[in-house]
Amino acid sequence: MSKSLLVALRPGWVLAPVGIIFVLTFFRLIYFQLDQGAEVEGRVLSRVMYETEIEAPRGKILDRHGAVLAEDRGVWALEMDEPAKLRRHLRPGMERELLKRELTLIAEAAGVPLAELAAVVLNPKKTYAVLADDLSSSEHRRLAAILRTMRGSGIKMRRHWRRVYPQGRALAHMVGLLVDHDGKREGVLGLEAMCQDDLHGQDGSKASLGVAGGRGINPALGFQAAQEAPAVETTLDSRIGAVLLEQLDAVQLEHNPDWVAGVVVDVRTGDLLAIGGLPDFNPNWPGENTTRDEEGHLLGLALPAFWPIEPGSTCKPFIVGRALQEGAIQETDTFSNRGGTWNIRKPPIRNASGVPDRPMTPREVLAYSSNIGAGQIGLKLGVDGVQRAFRDFAFWEPLGLSLREPFPGIEPAAKYWKGKQGTIWTVPSVSMGHQLQITPARLAYSFAALVNGGQYFKPRLFAGQPIAAPRKVLSESVSKFLCMAMTDVVEMPHRVWLPRSSGFRWGGKSGTTQKLHESNYTSLFAAFGPTENPEIVVVIVADNPKGKEHYGSKVAGVAAGNVLRRSVELMARAPRSVDLVPASTGVMFSNRKP
Q: Which of 397, 377, 382 is nearest to 320 (CA)?
A: 377
Per-residue confidence (pLDDT) for residue 432, from 0 to 100: 96
- Tell me the three state secondary structure of residue 82: coil
In what side-by-side order are the strands of the sheet with 521-529?
A: 272-278, 259-266, 536-543, 521-529, 507-514
Per-residue confidence (pLDDT) for residue 439, from 0 to 100: 94
Which pTM does this prediction carry? Answer: 0.81
Cis peptide bond upstream of 530, omega within 30? yes
Do 382 and 329 touch, CB atoms closer than 8 A?
A: no
Per-residue confidence (pLDDT) for residue 223, from 0 to 100: 65
pLDDT digit string (tens) for the chain, length 594 residues: 455 544 545 655 555 655 565 555 555 555 545 555 555 555 544 555 566 666 778 899 999 999 999 999 888 889 988 888 888 888 888 888 998 999 999 999 999 999 999 999 899 888 888 898 888 888 889 999 999 888 888 898 888 888 999 999 999 999 998 887 776 788 888 899 889 889 887 776 667 665 544 445 555 566 677 687 899 999 999 999 999 999 999 999 999 999 999 999 999 999 999 999 998 888 988 765 445 556 655 545 678 899 999 999 999 999 999 999 999 999 999 999 999 999 999 999 999 988 999 999 999 999 999 999 999 999 999 999 999 999 999 999 888 876 667 677 899 999 999 999 999 999 999 999 999 999 999 999 999 999 999 999 999 999 988 888 899 999 999 999 999 999 999 999 999 999 988 889 999 999 999 887 677 899 999 999 999 999 999 999 999 999 889 999 999 999 999 999 999 999 987 644 333 333 322 222 222 232
Q: What's the CA gap between 443 and 525, in Å, rounded?
A: 10
Q: Where are the beta strands (DSSP E) in 447-591?
A: 455-456, 467-468, 471-472, 507-514, 521-529, 536-543, 580-581
Measured in whole angstroms, the distance separating CA 353 from the mean position of its chain's CA atoms is 42
Q: Tell me which H or E stretch contains 91.
A: none
